[in-house]
Amino acid sequence: MKKLRILIADDHGLVRRGTGAVLRFRRGWSVVGEAVNGREAVEKAIELKPDVVILDISMPELDGVEATRQIVEAVPDSKVLVLTMHESDHIVRRALDAGACGYLLKSDLTDCLPKAVKAIAEGKRFLTPKVCEIVVEGFLRTRSEHQPAKRRDTRTTPRETEIIRLLAEGKSNKEIAAQLGITVRTVETHRATIMLKLGLHSLADLIYYAIRQGLHKGVESAQAVKSA
């Protein structure tokens, strides 16, 4: 069985040690490296090509959001899990837009970390119930603030609904095309239509919409994952 290779990035040694201690007891999991700042996290991700990168948002030299963006671009097979104390909807949105597959609060580290790592390693997204509540409230607030005067038709077709679900799960346009038996260009057209129809402006908005509509089957939460 292939080992799950994990990189931990946090500027606090105690957090790195605590995170590593939670993970090292998992059979088949290996912490292959640590980084003390965002720039080192990117460099080590490129060098080690881990399956999962766990990183904080607030780090010196390069913040976690930009580090996530660079890691996803340079090592697309590495999945990023944000582990932070920040509960801001704005920061969650930025992290998801940068390509993070999961967002976990440090207060939930002991209870949820193995479940989160397992979920994103399997190609799913992971948001704890508390984070889901934060992002849905932010989504609703944003929608309310920018709601156009003219009522918008927000009904989606069955095919559009399926594409929303797959995008929320973290699937790429190419993966969706292969799964549905359509072209990548058709997926791109559907995606553009969905964003326009629903008044969404980013992938994070789409994920929030999927959570609100109960379409987030691939977005695991602490309540949804029964075993790690």
All structural domains of the chain with their residue ranges = 4-128, 138-219
Check residues 147 and 7 and name the one with the higher pLDDT. Answer: 7
- 4-128 and 138-219 have identical folds: no
- What pLDDT score does 116 carry? 93
Q: What is the mean pLDDT of residues 106-126?
A: 89
Burial class (CB in 10 A: 0-12, 13-18, 19+), 175: middle
Write the single-letter amino acid at 205. D
Q: What is the mean pLDDT of residues 182-188?
A: 89
pLDDT grade, residue 170 (50/70/90)? Answer: confident
Please list the alpha-helical segments (H only) found in the chain: 13-24, 38-48, 64-74, 89-98, 109-121, 129-145, 158-168, 173-180, 184-198, 203-213
Could you report the per-residue pLDDT of 38-69, keeping only the tens digit for each? Answer: 999 999 999 999 999 999 999 999 999 999 99
- What pLDDT score does 97 carry? 86
- Which CATH topology does 4-128 take? Rossmann fold (3.40.50)
CB atoms within 10 A of CB 94: 21
Could you report the per-residue pLDDT of 15-24, keeping only the tens digit for each? Answer: 999 999 989 8
pLDDT grade, residue 168 (50/70/90)? Answer: confident
- What pLDDT score does 46 carry? 97
Kindly give the interhelix angle for 64-74 and 89-98, rounded to the nearest 10 degrees. 20
Q: What is the mean pLDDT of residues 202-228?
A: 62
* C-beta of residue 101 within 8 angstroms of C-beta of residue 79: yes
Contacts of 214 (CB under 8 A, 6+ apart): none
Task: Label each residue of 20-48 as H, E or C.
Answer: HHHHHCCCCEEEEEEECCHHHHHHHHHHH
- Which CATH topology does 138-219 take? Arc Repressor Mutant, subunit A (1.10.10)
Work out the percent of the chain whose per-residue pLDDT is above 90. 39
CB atoms within 10 A of CB 226: 6
Torsion sign over Cα 226, 223, 52, 22: negative
Tokens of 47: 């060098």
- What pLDDT score does 204 carry? 75
Tokens of 159: 């095919």
* C-beta of residue 199 within 8 angstroms of C-beta of residue 208: no
- What pLDDT score does 7 carry? 97
